[in-house]
Structure 1
Amino acid sequence: MRGTVTFGALLSTSGTYRHMGRNALAGIEHAVDEINRSQAFDFDLRLRHLNPEGRLERYAEALGELHREGIRHVFGPITSASRKELIPDLEQRGTLLWYPCPYEGFESSENVLYLGGCPNQTLIPLLRHALQAFGRQAYLIGSNYVWGWESNRIAREVLGVAQGEVLGEKYFHLGAIHFAEVVEALLQAPPAFILNNLVGDSSHAFLRQLDIACLARGLSLPVLSCNLTEGELVGVGEMRALRLLSCGPFFEEVDPAFSQRQRRLHGLHPYSHYYACAYAAVHLFAVACQRSGDDTPEAVCQALYAAPVATILGELRISAQNNHACLPSYIAELKGKRFSVLEAETLMQEADPYLTATDLEPFRAAPGTAQRPHLRIIR
């Protein structure tokens, strides 16, 4: 008789970043369904999902509820603010957080597995592409918390090395949707590119308003992001003037056969890197439980450190030094209603969360001549 392993998810399926939460939750639910149908495991997975509604104070409350039910593995959340809110309680209670989203780096906790990419796997390759393709004048915009602050700080450092220029930098509260003033300022002196670290509804509103203004003036501006995926296109809508570029470990075009299979099994969902990372995380969890015969966080981590696991993202290996995953890296541009991959590094990239081993010297070369040591062009 198969046993049962229960785990939790803290993902906001309502609130300002609901599209991200829903997409990650779909990845978790679909993986659970497939694992429970498989004969490769001697247990079933049982998911306990709580919706904090994008309210920061609700995350700790929801985590406490899961703790009272004896749950020691939790998947989520979406934002770095909510992740940081949880870490003290995770460490105090010995709970393991499976974090499937891109984040700003400069963190390492024994109680968090970082599975969505840190700056050397996402932001640094994207900036390298932008500096070579578009130029060295940038405008930085972000939501007013650690994701926006740190991502833009790294961008400023990279631009400084490249002898670039930050034309402006603005922050907005989560949920802000009025951007007329910043859009007008942007168009008075258009940058070579914009780095967009807004989140959820704020990002969607900014992109729509900027697109309308650019279309009216006959401008086409590149806008870069590491957290914009297929999962949010319903909120973004059609872009007619902007060029939207993103970087992450998965896009639907990377593995169309996987996306087609998932649609047959689970219906019409966007299969983004939020989906894929959450889906892969559940498979990591199940394989580690099966390998160790134990679902304690300690045993699960040791099983993951010991050997990589084959996933939709590739052979995932978790570093015992910093609990980060090695990941592939793809740069893609939105074309119509889908992302088209421009550059790819399919070899798994070691995470460097503190950027201590990441060489920024290639950014010193003149635009158009810098070396590309990692990414190759897909034609």
Structure 2
Amino acid sequence: MVRTEIQIGILFSRTGPYGTIAHSQLNGAMLACSEINADPKGAVSLIPEIRDPGGRLENYASDVKSMLGKGIRHVCGCYTSSSRKEVIPLFEKHDALLWYPTHYEGFESATNVIYTGAAPNHHMSPLIDYLCGRFGQRAYCVGSNYIWGWESNRVMRDGLQRRGGTVLAERYMAVGDTDLDAIVDEILELRPDFVFNALIGVSSYTLFRTLRAACQARGIDQPREVPVASCNLSEPELEEIGADSADGQISSSVYFSSLQSSCNAAFVAAYHAAYPEGPRVSAEAEAAYIAIHLMALAIAEAGSDEADAVREAVAGRSFEAPQGCVTIDPLSFHASLTPRIAVSRKDFEFDILLDTGAPVEPDPYLVGSMTCAPRPARANVRIVK
């Protein structure tokens, strides 16, 4: 069989304030490229061109312009929503596709983007239900000062208000800011039922360490009395936080490396063999892995890397991913994913608490319910532990 070589772009800030998680995304994407290129039955070989914007927003557009200018039509990349928003007009102008493998705040459906990360109904809605049912309805919200933090806190606030709850305070920090003493002091003064954390990168890691230390100094059991919940906390970030503060933190996601399945076991083993120095597997690494595999399948079916043909080929396509079956919705081009909620351990892994047990259709605009109660073709949440 004659294989067609397709040059693609890989765009992740493996350096900078959120470099740990973006580096895991890069690893997930490159693992998928290796598997695709090693498959003797494969119709395409992917030739990746890797760019590292270093977490600087102005670098994303220049890197994308350079890649698209070379004739690349498919780029897997971006972690922050700001970077995604920055480059979407370029993909529209050049008739190319961005494969976006990151959980995000929703309220977008761009013609030139394929979304393989979690939409807000996959992580926000289940988390709001869980927190209100388990801890209470008084929240302290803190986030990084950009789209992800703003919109995530807005969804949390709206969800709480629908349940009769309230947000005691809503604070924002610049991306990369680690001066969180005032935030922690306010949390301990207000004593919310839970803290909702929408910080990213080093800001988030510092919050966990600073809050745990302050609680210990006051004799407070932080995980039990001041629980922190996030929609963007994964295994490599637990390692960055450190064993003294990593345990007992709540995460709402669609993938955890502790999932028990043969497919996930093979994925984790292959990832660790390829990248023994890390960072660890993450939900974002899995989303990038999914994106590249779906990209290759769609290009092969289309018989071309032309954007419209590939977009048509990926619509409705399924892939057996480490998290379970993933399908691209032909209307929104977001993925159907399996929501889960977990709590972290000192060994930088997670114990899964809740699992829908099956994929849930994407609802990026939250036009359905703000709860995770099922609509047609949706799965019921089951308690795992």
TM-score computed with the length of structure 1 as normaliser: 0.93
Letter in 1 for 2:328: I
Q: Is the 8 A contact 1:214 1:241 kept in 2?
A: no
RMSD: 1.8
- Is structure 2 residue 359 aligned with structure 1 residue 348? yes
Q: 1:8-54 CA distances to partner (integer Å, 9 max, x unpaired)?
A: 01110111000111000000111111111111212211111111111
| C-alpha distance in structure 2 between counterparts of 1:173 and 1:347, whole Å | 37
What secondary structure, in the 3-state scheme, does the structure 2 residue paired with 1:53 have? coil
Alignment match of 1:224 (pick from 211, 220, 229): 229
The equivalent residue for 2:296 is: 286
| C-alpha distance in structure 2 between counterparts of 1:240 and 1:174, whole Å | 21
Q: 1:71-108 CA distances to partner (integer Å, 9 max, x unpaired)?
A: 01011100000100111111111110000101001111
The equivalent residue for 1:302 is: 312
| C-alpha distance in structure 2 between counterparts of 1:353 and 1:30, whole Å | 28
| C-alpha distance in structure 1 between counterparts of 2:104 and 2:196, whole Å | 15
Q: Is the 8 A contact 2:290 2:319 kept in 1?
A: no
Q: Measure how far apart 1:200 and its partner are.
A: 0.5
| C-alpha distance in structure 1 between counterparts of 2:50 and 2:76, whole Å | 9
| C-alpha distance in structure 1 between counterparts of 2:313 and 2:158, whole Å | 37
| C-alpha distance in structure 1 between counterparts of 2:358 and 2:98, whole Å | 26
| C-alpha distance in structure 1 between counterparts of 2:3 and 2:372, whole Å | 54
Matches within 5 A, 1:170-185: 170-185=171-186
The equivalent residue for 1:249 is: 254
Q: Measure how far apart 1:373 and its partner are.
A: 7.5
Q: Is the 8 A contact 1:352 1:358 kept in 2?
A: no
Letter in 1 for 2:338: P
The equivalent residue for 2:152 is: 151
| C-alpha distance in structure 2 between counterparts of 1:224 and 1:315, whole Å | 26
| C-alpha distance in structure 1 between counterparts of 2:379 and 2:338, whole Å | 14
* Contiguous gaps of at least 5 residues in structure 1: 363-371
Change (3 A) 1:145 1:266: closer
Change (3 A) 1:96 1:361: closer
| C-alpha distance in structure 1 between counterparts of 2:235 and 2:303, whole Å | 36
Letter in 1 for 2:285: Y
Matches within 5 A, 1:257-296: 257-258=265-266, 259-267=268-276, 269=278, 270-296=280-306
- Is structure 2 residue 314 aligned with structure 1 residue 339? no
Q: Once structures 1 and 2 are overlaid, which stretch shifts more, 291-300 or 209-218?
A: 291-300
| C-alpha distance in structure 2 between counterparts of 1:29 and 1:275, whole Å | 10
Letter in 1 for 2:122: Q
Q: Once structures 1 and 2 are overlaid, which stretch shifts more, 69-78 or 226-235?
A: 226-235
Change (3 A) 1:60 1:261: closer
| C-alpha distance in structure 2 between counterparts of 1:42 and 1:361, whole Å | 39
Q: Measure how far apart 1:300 and its partner are.
A: 1.4
Q: Is the 8 A contact 1:245 1:333 kept in 2?
A: yes
| C-alpha distance in structure 2 between counterparts of 1:264 and 1:61, whole Å | 33
- Is structure 2 residue 76 aligned with structure 1 residue 75? yes
Letter in 2 for 1:203: S
- Is structure 2 residue 376 aligned with structure 1 residue 374? no
| C-alpha distance in structure 2 between counterparts of 1:155 and 1:193, whole Å | 12
What secondary structure, in the 3-state scheme, does the structure 2 residue paired with 1:348 have? coil
What secondary structure, in the 3-state scheme, does the structure 2 residue paired with 1:19 have? helix
Letter in 1 for 2:382: R
Letter in 1 for 2:77: G
Identity across aligned pairs (percent)?
Answer: 37
Equivalenced residues, count: 370
| C-alpha distance in structure 2 between counterparts of 1:37 and 1:322, whole Å | 32
The equivalent residue for 1:368 is: none
* Contiguous gaps of at least 5 residues in structure 2: none
Q: Is the 8 A contact 2:246 2:345 kept in 1?
A: no
Q: 1:322-346 CA distances to partner (integer Å, 9 max, x unpaired)?
A: 1111101111110112111111113
The equivalent residue for 2:121 is: 120
The equivalent residue for 2:211 is: 210
Q: Is the 8 A contact 1:212 1:241 kept in 2?
A: no
| C-alpha distance in structure 2 between counterparts of 1:239 and 1:252, whole Å | 21
Change (3 A) 1:240 1:147: closer
Q: Is the 8 A contact 2:336 2:362 kept in 1?
A: yes
| C-alpha distance in structure 1 between counterparts of 2:248 and 2:257, whole Å | 18
